Structure 1
């Protein structure tokens, strides 16, 4: 999607966790908005049911396991510049194997599919999914139970990166979390 003021292409990003308005990492989105590297486009939800769980330190993970979840996941859509994506990829640990940015189909949250006529067309965006190397283990660790929205009650468990233990990598924390009961 073209349109960046710096001539860059834009990517639609679906945020479902701490990047949403009112949550711990939204300050990054605000900084991207202030620098014209992101634009908020509205509330959306996934077009299919997916698992959303919390991992170590209350970090939310969307799992790329279609058909496994019980919920349509609610979140927000942003149009993000290439420069903004670099900042988001860094936060999400793309090169470290924490998350991977993959396609996702979403629709406006207010479209519940019950209106007369055609439902709103799905929008193709990208989302940060738990890395495939541990997604299934994360789902098993959650007991096959997820939630439809990362809300304030779940956010109470979130520990910011700077307050986490420094003696292990986050990937080590994920492995320990997945192997524990």
Structure 2
């Protein structure tokens, strides 16, 4: 199905904040989805409220669904309009069925020329660290988050294929959160 046919489909706004953003390792998936008509870039965006953004094992970024935590900021990212087929592909990448991340609502604002717009966009979703380990990840980060997953923050990121294959990602997270910073 081409882009023209996909335009009439119901779409979901997806806020990306990490490796799916332009210039990062998993952006190729969004490029593939865009070519197939299953995703379209909407705008630069930021979370409407401060949320913790931390790095876990292998400098993998995690948005934590812990609003109101001291030490977090509004997180900068990108907003995409995605079809149900596109969401299924993103869910697979993010390990939703394996409790790596969970897709939950997020309130975002569109950013124009680096400035926040007044109106929040409702109905968007983001991939948050799964609630099963989010609080531990926040504690492990020293309760300090990032405003953006930038190249400097991502320095040292290890692609999935280059990580130890004898441990599951959840095992890698458990080892990370139980280790000293």
- 3-state SS of 1:72 partner: coil
Q: Distance in 1 between matches of 2:135 and 2:29?
A: 29
Question: Post-superposition shift, 1:155?
Answer: 1.8
- 3-state SS of 1:5 partner: helix
Assess if the C-alpha contact under 8 Å between 1:57 and 1:158 holds in 2: yes
Deviates more, 1:102-111 or 1:35-44: 102-111
Runs of 5+ unmatched residues, structure 1:
114-118
- 3-state SS of 2:48 partner: strand
Aligned twin of 1:86: 88
- 3-state SS of 1:138 partner: helix
Question: Post-superposition shift, 1:112?
Answer: 4.2
Query: Number of residue pairs matched?
Result: 174
- 3-state SS of 1:20 partner: coil
Q: Distance in 2 between matches of 1:83 and 1:169?
A: 26
Aligned twin of 2:75: 73
Assess if the C-alpha contact under 8 Å between 1:49 and 1:72 holds in 2: yes
Assess if the C-alpha contact under 8 Å between 2:52 and 2:145 holds in 1: yes
- 3-state SS of 1:78 partner: strand
- 3-state SS of 1:49 partner: coil
Is structure 2 residue 53 aligned with structure 1 residue 52? yes
Question: Post-superposition shift, 1:156?
Answer: 1.9
Q: Which runs of structure 1 show a deviation greater than 4 angstroms over 4 or more consecutive aligned residues?
A: none
Aligned twin of 2:151: 152
- 3-state SS of 2:15 partner: strand
Give TM-score scaled by structure 1 length: 0.92
Assess if the C-alpha contact under 8 Å between 1:4 and 1:81 holds in 2: no
Q: Distance in 1 between matches of 2:4 and 2:54?
A: 33
Question: Post-superposition shift, 1:158?
Answer: 1.2
Q: Distance in 1 between matches of 2:73 and 2:33?
A: 29
Runs of 5+ unmatched residues, structure 2:
none
Aligned twin of 1:102: 104
Aligned twin of 1:39: 40
Q: Distance in 2 between matches of 1:53 and 1:169?
A: 20
